[in-house]
Structure 1
Amino acid sequence: MPASHIEQMIEDPDGRWQRILVNIGESSLGWLHARGLLSDRHYAAGDMLRQDWERAGLGIRVTMRWDAAPRDGGRRGPGRRPDPTLAQMAARERFDGAIAAAGPGLSDILWRVACAGEGLAAAEKALGWPSRAGKLVLTLALDRVAGWYRVA
């Protein structure tokens, strides 16, 4: 396994857990974590926030959803799959709770780096902050979010 990849467990749309390889260089949080600028706890909290953001469907969609409607199982057929809308609503509630836990002054950089994938320098510039202020604020936000998600 290359040094830039880690194994991670993800849940697919059918609710099954799969082990995948993730390139940690692809996310801003992964980049910061790989260089020792974020603790394991902070990285885990930021990743949980990003996953909830993605599951809630809060990102920009460039195409229509073409998911098939779930079929009812016959007497011997499989039962109905869980409603994806309920999972999406639960993820949205978790995301909103985590953002609220971070607080109004901290959630801006948290969302930009963890969810939108902006680099720290780009987020600082977009927010009009001085250079290197973002890491401190991001760490404080991730600490609050880790507490909200109950990350050990």
Structure 2
Amino acid sequence: MATPLPDAVRRLDGFLAPHHIEAASRLLNLFERASLRQRVTMSYDPGRVGAARGNAQGELADSAADARRRLAGLASRLPADCWGLLADICLYDKGLQQIEAERGWPRRAAKLVLRIGLEQSAMLFGLAPAAAGRERGAVQSWLPERVPMFAATEQN
């Protein structure tokens, strides 16, 4: 089951390109796999209960540890403001207006920083606005020239 995109990203569907939406989706999936989202209710899952004793990294699933390593790599490559905004939106479900108010940014600044952050993330994920492949290579064949399909017939 795919995790739904945050409201802040869904509302900007016309402003964000499809590769931005895909980057946000991949980032959200990484946050989910990393098990970083805050829980509101009590979980009796043995993995989570055992993690409260201080040995959380040792008992962490390999996929969660890998997701945390990938997130750390993304965080080190993105500008700090972009990473903080992406974390606030994807991890803490904050809205753009709330982020602008908390950081003292002018109106619509978070929208632009979000687009810049998603563009950088898309580039790091290998996503582009349009699909691009290799340039056309030379045509290779087994024979030096093409064999005619039909033998030449003589007509009187």
TM-score bracket, shorter-length normalisation? 0.5 to 0.7
Report Cα offsets for 1:129-148 as digits up to 9, x if no partner: 11111111111111111111
Match of residue 12 from structure 2: 32
Residue pair 1:28, 1:113 contacting (<8 A) in 2 also: yes
Match of residue 71 from structure 2: 95
Q: Secondary structure in 2 aligned to 1:90?
A: helix
Structure 2 counterparts to residues 38-49 of structure 1, below 5 A:
38-49=16-27
Q: Secondary structure in 2 aligned to 1:131?
A: coil
Q: Which amino acid aligns with 1:39?
A: A
Q: CA deviation at 1:121?
A: 1.2
Which of 139, 146, 150 is the aligned partner of 2:115?
A: 139
Structure 2 portions without partners, runs of 5+: 48-58, 129-156
Residue pair 1:49, 1:115 contacting (<8 A) in 2 also: no
| Larger RCO: 1 or 2 (CA < 8 Å, sep 6+) | 2
97-106 vs 85-94, which moves further = 97-106
Distance 1:31 1:115 in 2: 17
Q: Structure 2 length as normaliser, TM-score? A: 0.64
Q: Which amino acid aligns with 2:76?
A: A
Are residues 140 and 85 of structure 1, via their aligned partners in 2, closer, same or farther at CA, if it must alter by over 3 Å? same
Distance 1:43 1:65 in 2: 34
Q: Which amino acid aligns with 1:134?
A: A
Q: CA deviation at 1:67?
A: 5.4
Off by >4 Å, runs of 4+ in structure 1? none
Match of residue 17 from structure 1: none
Query: Given the alignment of the two structures, is residue 54 of structure 1 paired with residue 23 of structure 2, yes or no?
Result: no
57-66 vs 104-113, which moves further = 57-66
CA root-mean-square deviation: 2.4
Are residues 65 and 41 of structure 1, via their aligned partners in 2, closer, same or farther at CA, if it must alter by over 3 Å? farther
| Identical columns (%) | 28
Match of residue 79 from structure 1: none
Q: Secondary structure in 1 aligned to 2:12?
A: helix
Q: CA deviation at 1:88?
A: 0.5
**Structure having the higher Rg:** 2
Structure 1 portions without partners, runs of 5+: 1-8, 11-19, 69-82
Are residues 118 and 99 of structure 1, via their aligned partners in 2, closer, same or farther at CA, if it must alter by over 3 Å? same
